[in-house]
């Protein structure tokens, strides 16, 4: 920590004595400082210390001042028992008085409420309530402080009592100390949601309490009387001034840290700037001073392990490569730190602690203290080794072991400016030392004699040695970087290169010939070997370099920069130094750079470096390529030809195809060049290289196949035609839709190429080029294909014209013709067409469909017609069909069933019509039709959509009309057991009653007589249309449905 006095002012003499600065405070903005000085209130500019106002208004000594939270007003109080409220412009606003002198005033941090404390009482004042109500105190009041939320205020008194009052002026808690409480304050930072009150009493103790008056921490013993307790960095630290003439920083729990200011007399008041690390203090001899505080960065680095101090009492270990952090709480002011391997040394004011840093099984950082040296050792810097620790002070380096025993001491010729442990065996580590006179030395801790490495013209500012310990980098006070060769065979330290305007330099710990240094204008340089340095703008100072990571420090923040090594890689590749390029690439480059290195190494036939480069980026194909190149190389006997062929393969892989082809031809390996161009589909180049006519034709065929695979059918057709493969050419033209080219090719083909011409016709037909298809089929005389085209076109005249010449294809015309007729509702003609085609199966299928649809649509007369024809068709067989007895019997059965259904549907048509239409045919004819339909239906299964109830109702209704009362009564009785619709049921019931009122007899002229047995036939006979006596079937007239003799 560094302190500097920004400005200092001393009060004027009053009667030969300088009045003390009893109290001071900053404005909330930090622009002004208000201080007491005798009977005056002084206002200073905080930055320059210029006195802006000297306010008079008090009649006696002013003891206390404080600013409001909004910065609009401030107040002062003194021995004249008066409190004056001032505007921030220095104009007095109001005043009020107490009975005794005012000892302390405090504004609430949350609102404009002022607490004033006198020798006998205390009071609140606010702008909203100008009336001041005073409350007595049992002892002289000395100090006051508010909580951060403005809800409570604490008041300390002379008898050691501390009272905690609420904003509503009620006492909440009381604390008793054994000595006067001269100063107290609530910490702005709450602990677990509880306000902490820090009390400084004149029994030289510092104590801590919560808002309820209970102790919260351990009391701390002071070696002076505290006069003012305030807070630094918003409550992170305590700042206490007192009778020891000093201002001291403590942790917030009271651990002493460091002194930040000192004076020649008691310091009555000290306070931090609200926004800056600046304090202002006032002393008993009338001096007021503003002091800037700079918290210096305490840190160290070893390889990629960076350690730094945080909050003055904690140590943070940052593993930069893994980006892991571990905090070591020390609870004491950290002066210096040093790390080496797994050792970490921390120096405090009264002791030195050595920690061991390690990783646990879960790869988490852990630490443990392994030794302590309980001595106060004054030094400028420390260095830790595996088992020793070095203290550097002025010209001496003293070596201690971890038990605190002094082991060795070295005395230098000049002041030590830099020291760093850079490796070595345990208990024999080497230390780099830089002196003010420009010497750079190496010390082994087990050797009392330093070794001079080199000497520069100015004091050493920074030193570093590379990982091979043969090069030394020195930065002097003139910002001159010099790199020396300190290998064993160069004892003089020969200068390798130097660079101006350098502030720091470090070697890469993984690469012995790579250094990074910070130059002018915020630039970082990376120099590899003797190559020109690479520059990149980067603010801060470089402090470490590992592989491709630069560790940069800016203030107290460290950043990890991914340093590009591509510049060095490119230069080494240009120089064809592939071994050095590979070493640089191993430090970290992008994948594209690895690939570039491998390709260039492969071009220069350095296959080992190329393989290692491709392996780094897992380029399996390139590694396999190198393996294949090695095999080819071994198969060639001639070494000169071996390298040429290998170079040709490499050129081909790199895309230099024409150069590769020339190289193949030079090696008399034309086939390899042709194969390469074919694989790349560079057909024109392959043809240029090819000198064999037969091979050229194969090339064209390969190109055609590639065009076909690429669905470039136009080009493929042209190529296939060029090489004489007409079948493939026709296929490609057809797929490409090139009708014109296809007809041209078709016309050139002889008639003997039936398959090719037919294929052309198929593509014509597919492409709707029907005239060309007809031309092609006529050319080869394919009548069946022509018929199919005419049928598809609906040109039946042309189709029938062909079957006149070729009757064997009649079925190919009549079958689709019959289908077309059926689609156009010309079913009779369709049936004749099927018969002409001698295809009864299709005729039967059509008749069955028509009959079924007619029944569904209740067109029963049409159904009867179709079943009549269907019965006929069941008797027709196809040509060549086997006619067995079983088949004949099955056909006869089906035909009879069709006849039966035709009769049923014909007669039922009239019955059904009579039920749905208002007019019906002649009653006697309808009566006979209904009786006939009932007799036929009763003998077997009732066909679909034929209703027996409708037949019975028709018979009964018509019989009733014809005075066939007996028959009507019998049928109505049967209807009583049939489920009928409600509307029909009511009519049946009415008709039944009516018929019962008539005589039970039938009209004789309407009775039937069998012409065979001459017997009268009952009206409701047994199932079947035959005589119930002789069982002779009746032959009816299908107009009147009378029996025929």
Amino acid 624: pLDDT = 83
- The total of other beta-carbon atoms located within 10 Å of residue 457's CB is 11
CA 968 to chain centre: 92
Cα separation values, 303 from 121, 280, 448, Å: 65, 42, 27
Residue ranges of domains in the chain: 2-294, 456-563, 782-838
Lowest mean pLDDT among 635-644, 830-839, 950-959, 1034-1043: 635-644
Tell me which DSSP letter residue 882 carries.
-
Amino acid 664: pLDDT = 61
Question: Is residue 725 pLDDT above 70, yes or no?
Answer: no
Strand partners, 550: 545, 561
Query: Which long-range contacts (C-beta less than 8 Å, at least 24 apart) are formed by 54-62?
Result: 55/86, 55/90, 55/92, 57/82, 57/84, 57/92, 57/95, 58/82, 58/84, 60/101, 61/19, 61/22, 61/36, 62/22, 62/23, 62/36, 62/37, 62/38
pLDDT digits (tens, 9 = 90+) for 358-392: 888 777 889 999 999 999 999 999 999 999 999 99
Looking at the chain, the whole-number percentage of residues with pLDDT higher than 90 is 51
328/342 Cα distance (integer angstroms): 14
Under a CB-based contact definition with an 8 Å cutoff, are residues 258 and 333 in contact? yes
Amino acid 888: pLDDT = 75
Question: Is residue 27 pLDDT above 90, yes or no?
Answer: yes
Of 454 and 602, which is predicted with more confidence? 454
pLDDT digits (tens, 9 = 90+) for 842-876: 666 777 777 777 778 877 777 777 777 777 767 66
Put the strands of the sheet holding 428-435 in their side by side order. 416-425, 428-435, 439-444, 451-455
Look up residue 1041 and give its two tokens: 């449905």
For residue 934, name the pLDDT band (cuts at 50, 70, 90).
confident
pLDDT digits (tens, 9 = 90+) for 939-992: 777 788 777 777 777 777 777 777 777 777 777 777 777 777 776 777 777 777
Question: Is residue 637 pLDDT above 60, yes or no?
Answer: no
Tell me which DSSP letter residue 17 carries.
B
993/1001 Cα distance (integer angstroms): 16
pLDDT digits (tens, 9 = 90+) for 172-197: 999 999 999 999 999 999 988 899 99
For residue 897, name the pLDDT band (cuts at 50, 70, 90).
confident
Lowest mean pLDDT among 127-131, 810-814, 1012-1016, 1039-1043: 810-814
Question: Is residue 612 pLDDT above 60, yes or no?
Answer: yes
What mean pLDDT is predicted for residues 996-1017? 72
59/79 Cα distance (integer angstroms): 8
DSSP string of 925-943? Answer: HHHHHHHHHHHHHHTSPPP
CATH topology (fold) of 456-563: Methylamine Dehydrogenase; Chain H (2.130.10)
918/333 Cα distance (integer angstroms): 122
> Is 3.40.50.300 the CATH classification of the domain at 2-294?
no
Identical fold between 2-294 and 456-563: yes
- The total of other beta-carbon atoms located within 10 Å of residue 586's CB is 17
């Amino acid at each position: 920590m560094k302190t500097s006095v920004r400005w200092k002012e001393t009060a004027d003499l009053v009667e030969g004595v300088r009045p003390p600065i009893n109290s001071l405070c900053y404005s909330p903005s930090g622009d002004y400082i208000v201080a007491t000085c005798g009977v005056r209130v002084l206002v200073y500019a905080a930055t320059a210390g210029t006195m802006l106002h000297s306010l008079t208004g008090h009649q006696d000594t002013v003891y206390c001042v404080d600013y409001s939270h909004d910065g609009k007003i401030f107040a002062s109080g003194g021995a004249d028992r008066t409190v004056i409220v001032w505007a921030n412009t220095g104009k007095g606003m109001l005043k009020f008085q107490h009975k005794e002198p005012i000892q302390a005033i405090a504004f609430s941090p949350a609102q404009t409420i002022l607490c004033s404390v006198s020798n006998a009482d205390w009071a609140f004042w606010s702008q909203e309530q100008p009336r001041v109500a005073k409350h007595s105190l049992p002892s002289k009041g000395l100090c006051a402080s508010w909580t951060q939320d403005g809800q409570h205020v604490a008041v300390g008194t002379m008898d050691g009592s501390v009272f905690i009052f609420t904003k509503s002026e009620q006492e909440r808690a009381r604390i008793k100390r054994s000595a006067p409480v001269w100063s107290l304050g609530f910490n702005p930072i709450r602990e677990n949601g509880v306000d902490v009150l820090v009390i400084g009493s004149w029994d030289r103790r510092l104590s801590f309490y919560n808002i309820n008056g209970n102790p919260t921490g351990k009391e701390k013993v002071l070696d002076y009387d505290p006069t003012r307790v305030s807070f630094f960095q918003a409550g992170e630290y305590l700042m206490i001034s007192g009778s020891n003439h000093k201002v001291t920083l403590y942790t917030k729990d009271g651990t002493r840290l460091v002194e930040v200011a000192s004076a020649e007399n008691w310091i009555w008041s000290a306070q931090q700037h609200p926004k800056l690390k600046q304090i202002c203090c006032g002393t008993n001899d009338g001096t007021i001073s503003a002091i800037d505080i700079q918290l210096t960065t305490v840190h160290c680095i070893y390889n990629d392990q960076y350690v730094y101090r945080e909050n003055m009492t904690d140590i943070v270990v940052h593993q930069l490569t893994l980006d892991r952090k571990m905090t070591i709480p020390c609870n004491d002011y950290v002066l210096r730190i040093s790390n080496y391997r797994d050792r970490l040394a921390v120096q405090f004011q009264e002791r030195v602690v050595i920690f061991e840093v390690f990783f646990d099984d879960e790869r988490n950082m852990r630490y443990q203290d392994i030794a302590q040296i309980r001595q106060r050792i004054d030094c400028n810097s420390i260095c830790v080794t595996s088992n020793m620790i070095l203290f550097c002070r002025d010209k001496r380096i003293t070596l201690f072991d971890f038990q605190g025993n002094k082991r060795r001491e070295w005395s230098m010729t000049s002041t030590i400016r830099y020291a760093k442990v850079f490796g070595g065996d345990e208990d024999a580590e080497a230390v780099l030392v830089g002196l003010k006179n420009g010497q750079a030395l190496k010390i082994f801790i087990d050797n009392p004699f330093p070794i001079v490495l080199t000497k520069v013209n100015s004091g050493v500012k920074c030193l570093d040695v590379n990982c091979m310990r043969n090069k030394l980098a020195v930065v002097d006070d003139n910002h001159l970087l010099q790199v020396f060769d300190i290998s064993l065979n160069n004892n003089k330290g020969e200068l390798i290169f130097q660079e101006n305007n350098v502030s720091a330099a470090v070697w890469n710990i993984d690469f012995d010939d790579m250094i990074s240094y910070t130059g002018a204008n915020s630039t970082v340089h990376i120099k590899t070997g003797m190559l020109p340095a690479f520059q990149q703008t980067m603010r801060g100072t470089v402090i470490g370099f590992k592989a491709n990571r630069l560790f940069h420090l800016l203030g107290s923040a460290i950043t990890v920069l991914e340093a590009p090594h591509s510049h060095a890689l490119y230069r080494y590749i240009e120089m064809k130094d592939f071994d050095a390029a590979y070493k640089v690439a191993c430090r970290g480059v992008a994948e594209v750079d690895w690939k570039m290195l491998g390709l260039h190494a492969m071009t220069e036939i350095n296959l080992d470096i190329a393989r290692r480069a491709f392996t780094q980026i897992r380029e399996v194909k390139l590694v396999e390529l190198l393996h294949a190149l090695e095999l080819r190389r071994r198969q060639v006997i001639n070494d000169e030809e071996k390298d040429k062929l290998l170079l040709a393969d490499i050129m081909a892989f790199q895309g230099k195809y024409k150069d590769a082809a020339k190289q193949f031809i030079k090696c008399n390996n034309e086939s390899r060049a042709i194969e390469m161009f074919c694989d790349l589909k560079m057909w024109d180049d392959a043809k240029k290289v090819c000198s064999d006519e037969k091979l050229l034709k194969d090339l064209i065929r390969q190109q055609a196949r590639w065009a076909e695979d690429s669905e470039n059918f136009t080009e493929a057709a042209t190529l296939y035609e060029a090489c004489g493969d007409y079948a493939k050419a026709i296929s490609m033209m057809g797929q490409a839709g090139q009708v014109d080219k296809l007809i041209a090719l078709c016309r050139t083909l002889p008639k003997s190429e039936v398959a090719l011409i037919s294929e052309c016709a198929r593509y014509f037909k597919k492409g709707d080029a029907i005239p060309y298809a007809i031309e092609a089929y006529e050319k080869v005389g394919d009548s069946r294909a022509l018929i199919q085209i005419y049928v598809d076109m609906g040109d039946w005249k042309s189709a029938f014209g062909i079957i006149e010449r070729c009757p064997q294809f009649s079925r190919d015309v009549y079958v689709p013709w019959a289908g077309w007729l059926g689609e156009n509702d010309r079913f009779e003609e369709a049936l004749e067409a099927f018969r002409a085609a001698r295809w009864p199966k299709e005729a039967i299928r059509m008749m069955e469909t028509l009959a079924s649809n007619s029944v569904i649509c209740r067109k029963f007369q049409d159904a009867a017609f179709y079943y009549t024809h269907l019965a006929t068709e069941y008797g027709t067989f196809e040509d060549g069909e086997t006619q067995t007895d079983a088949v004949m019997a099955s056909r006869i059965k089906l035909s009879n069933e069709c006849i039966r259904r035709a009769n049923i549907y014909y007669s039922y048509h009239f019955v059904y019509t009579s039920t749905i239409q208002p007019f019906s045919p002649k009653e006697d004819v309808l009566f006979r039709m209904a009786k006939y339909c009932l007799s036929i239906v009763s003998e077997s299964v009732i066909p679909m959509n034929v209703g027996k109830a409708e037949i019975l109702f028709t018979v009964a209704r018509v019989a009733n009309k014809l005075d066939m009362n007996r028959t009507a009564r019998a049928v109505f009785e049967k209807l009583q057991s049939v489920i009928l619709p409600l509307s029909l049921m009511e009519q049946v019931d009415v008709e039944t009653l009516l018929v019962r009122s008539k005589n039970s007899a039938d009209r004789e002229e309407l009775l039937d007589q069998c012409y065979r047995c001459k017997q009268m036939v009952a009206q409701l006979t047994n199932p079947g249309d035959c005589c119930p006596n002789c069982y002779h079937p009746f032959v009816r007239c299908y107009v009147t449905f009378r029996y025929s003799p």
